[in-house]
Amino acid sequence: MEQAAEHLDLLIEARWVIPVEPANTTLEHHAVAIRGEHIVAVLPISEARMRFSAAQTVSLPDHVLIPGLINLHAHTAMSLLRGIADDLPLMRWLNESIWPTENKHVSERFVFDGTLLGGAEMLRGGVTCVSDMYFYPEASARAYEQLGMRAVVGMTVIDFPTSYASDAEDYLSKGLLVRDNWLDHPRISFSLAPHAPYTVSDSTWERIGSLAQELDILVHTHVQETADEVLQSLEKHGVRPLTRLESLGLLGPNLLIAHAVHVTPEEIRMLASNNVGVAHNPTSNMKLASGAAPVSQMIAAGIHVGLGSDGAASNNRLDIFQEMRMASLLAKHSNADAGALPAHKALQMATLDAAHALGMQDTIGSLSPGKKADIAAVALDTLETAPVFDPASHLVYVAGREHVSHVWIGGRNLMQEKVLLHNDNKELLRISRLWQNSLKN
């Protein structure tokens, strides 16, 4: 007796599938089988057609399927500040332009609109999950919910007043209330997001460390982005920022540090032994002349290093394809080694390694049975992508976000043939123009 076909909600057939797990693997003429929100199987197309009966089959004969990309460090609402203060080093950029502009304009509406605009940009570029940090986390969460994206929303903490909160305790109480209101959401979670060691006091760090342990929650912060930041810490505290955080009990698997540009071999060993995650932001670091993080050395030490865009005010793109390319090229240049950070590893940083840094490796980051069906399809059928000898190489060195054709999050199709299905591009552009006029005044 012939066995009945198993029911599926969706079968995606593609020329290539790069599942990320196992590493360095490219599968030809394979399909991803999806039931509900989860991947059921990754198998040859011929076998999939015999085994499954799908409510919908999507055939992508010139495409490569990859896990949805993860932006491990973003200030998404700052998309409204794109290009407002270019060609400045970090501290001048912050003190002379960004912080004064934020003090004047940032509001709940600013954050919602900016996150909606930046989130749509990322979604169009194959990003399905974002680790964000900014003011008004409720507004950010609502924007990601509307977009259908997966997000870890940072509850910003800083020791000086802003339009959002008056002091560190006010930031924490407001952020934790928002978290409580979203506790049961399937795609939106939260992190504690102290801005940086130089803007957060010891007592606040200790409070954050206690909350992180009590709530089992991620701490997401900037650390050692510039050489000047390290010098200031030595002058004020007598130790480097990472040593200070270690003495305050912050180093551990629930800590995610952005940048880590100026770290010593001993600090790399410290990060590795404490299982701290790192968000590498190569484009932002180059644009602000902050330096080149020793990524190859961190990876060799066993640190989970993912990729982030930083904010659109300092990049100026929320583009993880660009970050994969820049990370690989910068590592080759910095180490004088053409084999440093090969293509498959760059893709792994943008997916599974980032998921590990978020503690979400069992849920997302690879095309593996049992994981959420967060998937991007990249079309390699254009003149500028021909011929294709190695699709993984093409993803990092040839293709860009403009070649992303389809995106699914939890099995739900959010972009098809390069068109967002649930958000209006014209409305997003109208919002952008309104804020541009407002920010000019």
d(CA 76, CA 74): 5
Residue 424 has a pLDDT of 81
Residue 61 has pLDDT above 70, yes or no: yes
d(CA 233, CA 201): 12
Task: Find out whether 363 and 372 touch, Cβ atoms under 8 Å.
Answer: yes
Domains of the chain by range and CATH?
6-67+372-420 (2.30.40.10), 69-358 (3.20.20.140)
The pLDDT mean for the chain works out to 96
d(CA 433, CA 437): 6
User: Mind listing the pLDDT tens digit for each residue in 420-437?
Assistant: 998 888 888 898 899 988
Q: Which residue has the higher pLDDT, 441 or 374?
A: 374
Nearest of 378, 399, 381, 279 to residue 327 by alpha carbon: 279
Residue 198 pLDDT level (bands cut at 50, 70, 90): very high
d(CA 283, CA 330): 9
Residue 2 pLDDT level (bands cut at 50, 70, 90): low
Task: Find out whether 60 and 46 touch, Cβ atoms under 8 Å.
Answer: no
The pTM for the full model equals 0.97
Average pLDDT for 82-107: 87
Residue 441 has a pLDDT of 66
Residue 3 has a pLDDT of 72
Residue 245 has pLDDT above 60, yes or no: yes
Average pLDDT for 325-349: 98
Q: Which residue has the higher pLDDT, 97 or 177?
A: 177
Residue 1 has a pLDDT of 44
Task: Using a pLDDT cut of 70, give the percent of the chain over it.
Answer: 99
Q: Which two tokens stand for residue 437?
A: 């006029």
* Partner residues linked to 134 by β-bridges: 155
Long-range contacts: 231-240, Cβ < 8 Å, 24+? 232/198, 233/197, 233/198, 240/267
C-beta neighbour count of 175 within 10 angstroms: 26
Residue 438 has a pLDDT of 85
Sign for the pseudo-dihedral over CA of 428, 64, 365, 10: positive
d(CA 417, CA 59): 12
d(CA 69, CA 254): 21
Residue 423 has a pLDDT of 82
Task: Find out whether 78 and 313 touch, Cβ atoms under 8 Å.
Answer: yes
Residue 93 has a pLDDT of 83
Q: Residue 379 is which amino acid?
A: A
Task: Using a pLDDT cut of 90, give the percent of the chain over it.
Answer: 89
d(CA 327, CA 402): 19
Average pLDDT for 327-342: 97
Residue 373 has a pLDDT of 99
Least confident segment among 81-90, 134-143, 293-302: 81-90
